[in-house]
């Protein structure tokens, strides 16, 4: 399934197949409190080593609540395009790392900081704040089109296959089969991978549409993974019934 998903133009065709379902995912609206509590899963937090009496979950959620009461919301509503989004993303990563060091002297690695911010921004696309939809080009739409992909071993493996097949101008981008979030050890590698994803969702010349939002890559992978496991489960159940 992964190789089929990642094959050249199949990325666009897989996304196209699931666009209605993806649009329904981003039509949901949730409160800020719910988003902060739900945006980061336990598996992500378990991958973060820490050296203090507070858990990564409590540190992150406390930071997020405090940031929204301070500067985060103001800067969020000032996002208008990719450059302003990138500046906002950089500020958020640095602020989270600074806050983290006040509790844990080991600090928070770039790979973990970027993923936590990416997961939070992915959640914010569903925020029920009306201000996100004001203006000719709403902040919500800018977030959907500009957001980076939260990286994990599955998305990295998909990018590895795509990169070997068709990504150009990324000669220094090396992703191994067993790489995971912690393998993205520098901001430069993180940025190269995000650019690879943007290249993967771009249509070739001649298509009416130029690209899908990169976040759709993440969404369609989650959808197809869920369908794959569901089919696998049904197949196993059917085999068990035959044996009986």
3-state secondary structure of 137: coil
Give pLDDT, residue 170: 52
* Burial classification of residue 68, based on how many CB atoms lie within 10 Å of its CB (0-12 exposed, 13-18 middle, 19 or more buried): middle
What is the separation of C-alpha 105 from the centre of its chain, rounded to a whole number of angstroms? 27
Region 205-209: mean pLDDT is 48
Percentage of the residues of the chain whose pLDDT score is greater than 90: 37
Half-sphere exposure of 88 (CA within 13 A, CB side): 26
- Residue 107, by phi and psi: left (phi above 0), alpha (psi -120 to 50) or beta? left
Mean pLDDT value of segment 177-196: 83
Domain ranges within the chain, ordered by starting residue: 28-214
Q: Does residue 8 carry a pLDDT above 80?
A: no
CA distance 67 to 132: 17
Mean pLDDT within 118-127: 94
pTM over 0.75: yes
Question: What ranges in 26-138 are assigned the alpha helix state H?
Answer: 32-38, 42-46, 56-68, 72-76, 82-101, 110-124
pLDDT band per the 50, 70, 90 thresholds, residue 165: very low
Give residue 236's pLDDT band: very low, low, confident or very high (50, 70, 90): low
């Amino acid at each position: 399934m992964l190789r089929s998903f990642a094959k050249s133009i199949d990325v666009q065709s897989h996304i196209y197949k699931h666009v209605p379902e993806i649009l329904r995912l981003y039509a949901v609206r949730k409160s800020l409190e719910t988003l902060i509590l739900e945006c980061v899963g336990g598996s992500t937090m378990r991958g973060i080593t820490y050296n203090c009496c507070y858990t990564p979950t409590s540190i992150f959620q406390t930071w997020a609540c405090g940031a929204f009461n301070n500067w985060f919301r103001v800067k969020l509503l000032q996002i208008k395009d990719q450059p302003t989004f990138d500046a906002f993303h950089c500020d958020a990563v640095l602020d989270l790392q600074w806050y983290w060091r006040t509790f844990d002297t080991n600090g928070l690695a770039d790979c973990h900081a970027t993923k936590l911010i990416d997961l939070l921004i992915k959640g914010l696309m569903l925020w029920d704040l009306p201000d996100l939809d004001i203006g000719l080009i709403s902040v919500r739409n800018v977030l959907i089109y500009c957001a980076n992909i939260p990286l994990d071993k599955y998305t990295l493996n998909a990018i590895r296959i795509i990169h070997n097949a068709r990504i150009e101008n990324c000669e220094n981008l090396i992703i191994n089969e067993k790489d995971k979030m912690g393998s993205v050890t520098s901001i430069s590698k993180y940025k190269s991978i995000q650019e690879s994803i943007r290249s993967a969702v771009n249509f070739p010349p001649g298509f009416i549409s130029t690209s899908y939002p990169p976040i759709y890559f993440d969404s369609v992978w989650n959808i197809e993974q869920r369908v794959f496991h569901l089919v696998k489960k049904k197949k196993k159940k059917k085999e068990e019934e035959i044996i009986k």
